[in-house]
Amino acid sequence: MPRQESVKGIVLRVVPTGDGNNLLTVLTGNRGKITVSAPGSRSVSSQRHAICQPFSYGELFITERKADRWYLKEGTPEETFYPLREDLARFALAGYIADVTLQVATEEEEQEDLLRLLLNTLYVLCYRDKPIWFVKAVFEWRLAAIIGFEPDLFSCMECGKTEPPFAFVIEEGQLICTECMLKEGAPPAHPLDVSLPLLRSLLRVPLQKLYSFEADEMLKWEMSSLCEKHLLSHLERTPSTLQFYRSVGE
């Protein structure tokens, strides 16, 4: 008997193949990233058509006909994040977010936090009035922590001092105080004058409250650059979608 399962997941990549089929890459909570073949799903009359769209989230009934090869039996979207398609900058950011998620997601293991972060982020992008630079920075910062690169934001990496002011050493993921920063041979550091309290909170707050903080414009320059550089320093490659986002984003 082939294995049959019901999984909750979001479609992150759709690749058309022959015979009106699609090959989907889906992020699920319990199995991580899976590849699912969806026969006949390119036809708009297909019952599988709606779930086979980028950013469709819902329950998928899948069967395994060959080893590690899943087929979509049926699926119904609970959420399509449709408003993303009505705003080019938000759509571009969602593309980058999907790209990064595909790059860091592992296969056949639990990825509940990653899925939760992704769904919350897309929800805020669609339905909340938060500036997109803020959504991007918060996503990048928390994602890096989820995949194992949580920075140490409590003391200077050189002298152990715990009182600000500090700067952030991207390559170490640690703070450096302004005195140590001026010493010969100190590593290059990123300014961290106004966003330290928020960056600390973003590592601790439950995922459902991640976007409840105020997106103060004063934080924009510092956070945008730091969160992006910190995450990219831990990725194998810079997603090409980042360039597109930069050309249309804020």
Residue numbers at the binding site for Zn ion (CB under 5 A)? 156, 158-159, 161, 177, 180
Query: Closer CB to Zn ion, residue 36 or residue 181?
Result: 181
Element housing 203 (H / E) = helix 196-204
**202: Cα separation from own chain's centroid:** 14
Tell me which amino acid residue 177 is.
Answer: C
Given CA atoms 208, 209, 214, 219 in this order, what sign does their dihedral have?
negative
Query: Closer CB to Zn ion, residue 26 or residue 192?
Result: 192
Instruction: Report, in Å, the least distance between residue 107 CB and Zn ion.
Output: 42
Instruction: Report, in Å, the least distance between residue 166 CB and Zn ion.
Output: 8
Structural contact between residues 169 and 189, judged by C-beta atoms closer than 8 angstroms: yes
Query: Closer CB to Zn ion, residue 98 or residue 180?
Result: 180
Instruction: Report, in Å, the least distance between residue 168 CB and Zn ion.
Output: 13
Element housing 177 (H / E) = strand 174-177
Query: Closer CB to Zn ion, residue 94 or residue 181?
Result: 181
Query: Closer CB to Zn ion, residue 36 or residue 156?
Result: 156
Instruction: Report, in Å, the least distance between residue 153 CB and Zn ion.
Output: 14
Instruction: Report, in Å, the least distance between residue 158 CB and Zn ion.
Output: 4
Element housing 34 (H / E) = strand 32-38
Residue 142 buriedness (CB in 10 A; 0-12 / 13-18 / 19+): buried
